[in-house]
Amino acid sequence: MSFRPVIGLEIHVQLKTKSKMFCGCNNESEGVKPNTNVCPVCLGLPGALPVANKEAIKSAVMAGLALDGTVAGFSKFDRKNYFYPDLPKGYQISQYDQPIAKGGFLEFIVPLEKEKKLGSKKVYQKRAKITRIHLEEDAGKSIHPQGRDYSLIDLNRCGTPLLEIVTEPDISSPLEAKFFLQELRKIMRYLGISDADMEKGHLRCDANVSLKGEGTKILGTKTEVKNMNSFRAVEKALTYEIKRQENLLKKGKKIVHETRGWDEDKGETIPQRSKEEAHDYRYFPEPDLPPLELSQAYITEIRNNLPETPEHRRNRFKKEFKLGLEQLAVLIEDKELGDYFGRVISELREWVKDLDLKQNQEKATTEMINLTANLFVTELVGMLRDKKVAVEKSKITPENLAELVTLIYKGEISQGAGKKVLGEMLDKGGDPSHIIDEQGLKQISDEKKLGKVIGEVIKENKGPVDDFKEGKQEALGFLVGQAMQKTKGQANPQVVNKLFRRILKK
């Protein structure tokens, strides 16, 4: 019997507000001296009263709307009671039966298993429904010094605002789970409400995994998988857990309803606790916080000012710029890179107006936009990554990059020289025209000058010349290469190719 995986995700997103969820403490726990960003509210001291963070509420509304959910006009906070050393109050303020948002969905693109990259044309679109979105506070952090018989507690993170997003069990593979999370991360970053960095704990994910027999609607016993702190870990952990459950079922054994943790070193999930032993959290309404009432006018105002989402930008770039899947995948991944690309295109349109065109302006603009996108995808992104610099902080201005693309398009420099100029601009900044003049990179397209070079190549390479005349087309590539070598790469290869064909066919 074959089985189909059924996966639902529970995601915690750390919101990047200035202050914590229910107090005025600095919402910064990384690189800070332990237990310094705390107050009586964080520490759960008697008499300390919480006050809900206005910005965190706005962030939750933004997320709910961006995911096409229904934002509740009335919701409330609840106490989730459990004991843990890094939870000083003995309870967590969360939302239980009346969350801030319900419903919605997230559509995301998934490459086929063999491809595993979004630039491939072999992709499919998937939709996963959202069950609920609610606000809560984070707990502190337990630190376990190696070789010691004690643990330390840092409460700087205690009270950090979290957004919990729960999906329906609509995900059918580890790869889908990975790309769902990557798309969700993009949305959080586009909205500006979270850095959503998994490695830093800004985006945490637990997964409920079960197997369903083909041809049946009955779900199998599920396990919850925790401790997945990277997209790679999510894919590996779920792949392992699905295989583990499948092997048990094929042997006629039962799946235990339990929580399992991903062990990166062992490459397997290990039991943590049985669900039968799970906490009774004894939820009840938080008596120190009033219900959360949001007017329709408030929700509408946020909706009207919602930033562009990755999906909207993907559709806009595809329609407006005629970009391919690989180009879109790179430009949509990083919001700042996409913003910068848009500014370059605005500058490029001004350059197009000044060109002496033999074709219509619209066609030239489309070709130059495609050239720009290719320059981003094949060169600029890699250079920025190598230098560990964000595009908006680089020395290349949109105006100068648009000029460089125009010079390449006009044939004044080759693509190879353009790459060299781009690297120089990234290192030192500056106008591409000046760099080209200083380094003698201008492309030679003059047929008279190139004719002399081609004549020399023909004289020096009788064998390849005869081969070409006999119909061996690969010989032409060799001859063009010789001409490029003689001009130190400055000859326009298209013009050289055309001249060779013209001369040798006489």
Q: Is the pLDDT of residue 358 over 80?
A: no
Does domain 447-504 fall under CATH 1.10.10.410? My reply is yes
Specify the higher pLDDT residue, 214 or 232.
232
Residue spans per domain, the chain: 3-302, 308-439, 447-504
- Name the residue with tokens 């320059």: 375
User: To the nearest whole number, what is the mean pLDDT of the chain?
Assistant: 92
Confidence band for 280, pLDDT divided at 50, 70 and 90: confident
CB distance 16 to 22 below 8 Å: no
pLDDT at residue number 215: 79
Q: Is it the case that residue 333 has pLDDT exceeding 70? A: yes
Beta strands in 275-398 (DSSP E): 284-285, 292-293
pLDDT digits over 417-438, tens only? 899 999 999 999 999 999 998 8
Residue 450 pLDDT class (50, 70, 90 cuts): confident
pLDDT at 467 over 60: yes
Mean pLDDT of 476-496: 86
- Residue percentage of the chain with pLDDT more than 90: 73
Q: Averaged over 229-246, what is the pLDDT?
A: 97
Is the confidence at residue 118, as pLDDT, over 60? no
Whole-structure pTM value = 0.86
| Cβ 134 vs Cβ 100: under 8 Å | yes
Q: CA gyration radius for the chain?
A: 30
3 state DSSP class of 142:
strand
What is the pLDDT at residue 139?
A: 96
| 294 alpha-carbon distance from chain centroid | 31
Size (the chain), residues: 506
Of 405, 413, 404, 403, the residue nearest 442 (C-alpha)? 413
Bridging pattern class, strands 105-111 and 101-102: unpaired
Mean pLDDT, rounded, for 93-122: 84
Burial class (CB in 10 A: 0-12, 13-18, 19+), 345: buried
Spatial separation of the C-alpha atoms in residues 489 and 483, rounded to whole Å = 8
Average pLDDT score over residue span 329-350: 94
pLDDT of amino acid 505: 79
- DSSP one-letter string for 179-238: HHHHHHHHHHHHHTS----GGGTSEEEEEEEEEEETT-------EEEEEE-SHHHHHHHH
Name residues whose C-beta falls within 8 Å of residue 102's C-beta, 6 or more positions apart in sequence. Answer: 69, 70, 72, 131, 132, 133
Tokens representing 395?
């020395």
480 phi/psi in degrees, rounded to 5: -60, -40
Instruction: Give the integer Cα–Cα distance in Å for 136 and 75.
Output: 13
pLDDT higher than 90, residue 39: yes
